[in-house]
Amino acid sequence: MKNLNNNQVLTLDNYCSRGFFPYSKIGGKVFVCASDVEDYLTTNIIRKEVKS
């Protein structure tokens, strides 16, 4: 699990509360598996290729 800074947690908390990926909250900190976040982003974010 990865500990994230406060700015990331605010956004991450929205994703977690909406059920996009599992998380644990311990002592006010949110912990997620980096692989869960990576899998979600890889599956749901379309990367635009830059033409050279």
**Strand ranges inside 1-52, DSSP E:** 2-3, 24-26, 29-32
Question: Whole domain around residue 36: which residue ranges?
Answer: 2-44
| Nearest residue to 31 (alpha-carbon basis) of 52, 12, 7, 50 | 12
Q: Does residue 29 belong to any structural domain of this protein?
A: yes
This prediction's pTM: 0.56
Coil, strand or helix: which one is 7? helix
| Nearest residue to 29 (alpha-carbon basis) of 13, 49, 18 | 13
Q: Does residue 52 belong to any structural domain of this protein?
A: no
Structural domains counted in the chain: 1
Q: What pLDDT is stored for residue 51 in this prediction?
A: 53
Q: Each residue of 4-43: pLDDT tens digit?
A: 666 655 577 788 888 888 888 888 888 889 898 888 888 8
* DSSP per-residue string spanning 7-28: HHHHHHHHHHHTTSS--EEETT
Both tokens assigned to 14: 């929205």
